[in-house]
Structure 1
Amino acid sequence: MEIRKILVFGAGNFGSCLADHLADSEHTVYLWARSRDVVDSINTTHRHPKYLKEHDFPESIQAIGPELPSKEFMSEMDVLLFAVPTQYLRNALLDIKDRLDDENLPLLIFVNKGIETGTRALTLEIIADTLGKAAAKTATFLSGPSFAKEIVQRQPTQVSVSSLSIEHAQRTAEVFHQPWFRCYTGDDPIGVELAGALKNVYAIAAGIADGLGYQNNTRAGLITRCLAEMTRVGCAYGASPLTFLSLAGVGDLFLTCSSRNSRNYTVGYRLGQGEKLDVIIDTLGSVAEGVATAQGLHEIIERLGAEAYAPIAEGVYAVLYGGQTAEEMSHWLMNQPAAQRELEIPERAAPYEAIMLKLGLEAKKTGKI
């Protein structure tokens, strides 16, 4: 295995656990944090003061920050891994743009999941807007069923790695590969991104159902219909329907919808129990990206004219932002018109054409996928 110099941006739950994994894989790892307390704690006690607090991080990890690293420092990195929440990613990339050499970019890996509120942009588009088309075309996206707590315990974990450049996806897989951590590669980053973002919204729906006291029939049926919705929205964006059968698709969906370790599931469960959203957010202790993503997804669904084939996502939005109760959402969903077709793949829609244009790529022929 080739040893690489890796800079991880973002010392939250997932960024920290991946830094731990990569350092344990003998790479040289730097972990950038915006908090001086986190930097000092990692460097002196090898403990994180907020996340994975019982875990001893490898002494080889060097935490840096809160100042951004210099251009000279970043020029020595082989890999930049971004574990920054989607809503803050655009500013983060703009902040480091002038510190990157466009002619000699390191391997860029993104593990955030979400849709940018307001712009409805995927991470692929944010990269193109900030770092340029060339960076977007070679950026890689890692996603799949991967709770941070289990990664640091070296529980066997398997994920999807996708890029428009399969060569870069393979390089990312090699960086992460260990007997306890396997990567499967693909070339559909749009599908992987959408699956990773949308499953957080659907985890809220699953939590709501459990919070209302519904049991196994409801859970199995709901998760299956969530998968159908994800696939329809993704295919309208130009994604492959097969991506939603991958680790990044059904794998991550199943994990997030069926575990109380999921922050998004927890938000839904507490909503189902009758708690108010502002109280849940204030006491959750970490970010549940599905809450913000539900807004972006609602805007996307409106733009696609897809309300009819994404009722679960619309129901979650109505509970979070429309004043609907969890019980009202449940009754509304179960009283949708009868005899609806179970599986259907829509035509590609305008957002797909816009993404391809932004990337400087030719859109594939439209029509049924």
Structure 2
Amino acid sequence: MTLSPDKSRVVIFGAGNFGSCLADHLGDSDHDVYMWSRDASIVEHFNKFHRNPQFLKEHAFSENIKAIGPDLPTADFLSEMDVLLFAIPTQGLRCNLKLLRPRLDENKLPLLIFVNKGIEMGTNALTLEIIADTCGEHIARAATFISGPSFAKEIVRRRPTSVSVASFTISEAEKATQVFHQPWFRCYTGGDPIGLELAGALKNVYALAAGMSDGLGYENNTRAMMITRGLAEMTCIGTAFGAEPLTFLGLAGVGDLFLTCSSPTSRNYTVGYRLGQGESLETIIDTLGSVAEGVSTAKAVKNIIEELDVKAPIATSIYNVLYEGKDVRTAVSDLMAMPPSRELELPPKAGGPKWRLVKKVGLE
């Protein structure tokens, strides 16, 4: 039984694992859902059989979903939509927003929701900054972000799930909550989209570390250490950036970190595990079959760490393994050989990048 929210017309950009599962969730919540894919074969197959031929293949999707694409929706079509949800990889977001921006009606903007997790390579930009650059400050201020421990295969099976929903405009976060909230899918609102974004991106890097640890044959003590020290580093980086420290103790922080670091079904954990087993990164990426955001995010995180002048030895070691050819076992040994230090210590100066971003979205 649903909570009977107002029926919405929703376009989901992206027909991967997460986009598909959210389409199913919203369709089963009695919304009219249009799932866009750049792959014409997926569109044709989905509309004929109501199954995704590439992701969640065994699941029969809600009849309230229609696949569209490969062309982007027209301005007339978008003008009839209540919600635009973006579930495409961060690295492809900027180009798609540039194409979509002229098709949005300034006087009738839909609710914009973003569920991608990552940092743009080359610019080190969060999604919020990409939105500001491509769509303008007023759209960025109203943009809403959803993150938390939420594996797609469990969402489509209606297993109890909770997520964080954040926006600079709380009323927009509340609207998104009303669209998504169901007895099997609880939403908690917040006003720190920067922290939520950073948590969602950073946890993928530490999932690589947890996977490497398991791949090397280390056991529970080591995994627990990696998760806990990963959380400490995430909080330190986020606080130095200007995020709220408590955000990292929520669903988008420790919740998603724990899930991603402790499940073999996590793509980022899997990449780390296979690296720990001795496979090359090139081989892993070629055979993974889907995107592991942590691999690209590790580059941007390295740049952010250097800009903020904070210590994040695990994240730095992951970068060294991925991009400088450092041996995984040597990286772990070097981490363990570091001198003793304080367990928890937030940076004395914080907020430079945040205030630049706040200015860009017109909230100074």
TM-score w.r.t. length of structure 1? 0.96
| Rounded Cα–Cα distance in structure 1 between residues aligned with 2:354 and 2:159 | 37
Question: 1:361 — aligned with what?
Answer: 363
User: Is 1:17 matched up with 2:21?
Assistant: yes
User: Is 1:106 matched up with 2:110?
Assistant: yes
Question: 1:259 — aligned with what?
Answer: 263
Deviations 1:159-205 (A, max 9, x none): 00000011111110110011100000000000000000000000000
Question: 2:343 — aligned with what?
Answer: 342
Gaps of 5+ in 2: none
| Rounded Cα–Cα distance in structure 2 between residues aligned with 1:48 and 1:221 | 38
> Alignment partner for residue 331 of structure 1, among 330, 333, 355?
333
User: Is 1:172 matched up with 2:176?
Assistant: yes
Question: 2:208 — aligned with what?
Answer: 204
User: Is 1:40 matched up with 2:41?
Assistant: no
Question: 1:126 — aligned with what?
Answer: 130
User: Is 1:193 matched up with 2:197?
Assistant: yes
Question: 2:277 — aligned with what?
Answer: 273
Does the 8 A contact of 1:295 with 1:317 survive in 2? yes
| Rounded Cα–Cα distance in structure 1 between residues aligned with 2:121 and 2:252 | 22
Question: 2:247 — aligned with what?
Answer: 243
Question: 1:322 — aligned with what?
Answer: 324
User: Is 1:146 matched up with 2:177?
Assistant: no
Deviations 1:58-94 (A, max 9, x none): 1221111001111010000000000010000000100
Does the 8 A contact of 1:113 with 1:289 survive in 2? yes
TM-score w.r.t. length of structure 2? 0.98
Does the 8 A contact of 1:304 with 1:349 survive in 2? no
Partner SS, residue 23 of structure 1: helix
Partner SS, residue 188 of structure 2: strand
- Residue 105 of structure 1 and its aligned partner are, at CA, apart by 1.0
Question: 2:235 — aligned with what?
Answer: 231
- Residue 345 of structure 1 and its aligned partner are, at CA, apart by 1.4
| Rounded Cα–Cα distance in structure 2 between residues aligned with 1:344 and 1:189 | 23
- Residue 353 of structure 1 and its aligned partner are, at CA, apart by 2.4
Gaps of 5+ in 1: 363-369
Q: Which amino acid aligns with 2:211?
A: G
- Residue 349 of structure 1 and its aligned partner are, at CA, apart by 4.4
Q: Percent identity?
A: 64
| Rounded Cα–Cα distance in structure 2 between residues aligned with 1:165 and 1:288 | 30
- Residue 103 of structure 1 and its aligned partner are, at CA, apart by 2.6
| Rounded Cα–Cα distance in structure 2 between residues aligned with 1:352 and 1:240 | 11
| Rounded Cα–Cα distance in structure 1 between residues aligned with 2:100 and 2:360 | 21
| Rounded Cα–Cα distance in structure 2 between residues aligned with 1:288 and 1:341 | 32
| Rounded Cα–Cα distance in structure 2 between residues aligned with 1:25 and 1:236 | 39
| Rounded Cα–Cα distance in structure 1 between residues aligned with 2:168 and 2:242 | 13
Structure 1 runs (4+) deviating above 4 angstroms are none
| Rounded Cα–Cα distance in structure 2 between residues aligned with 1:348 and 1:277 | 34
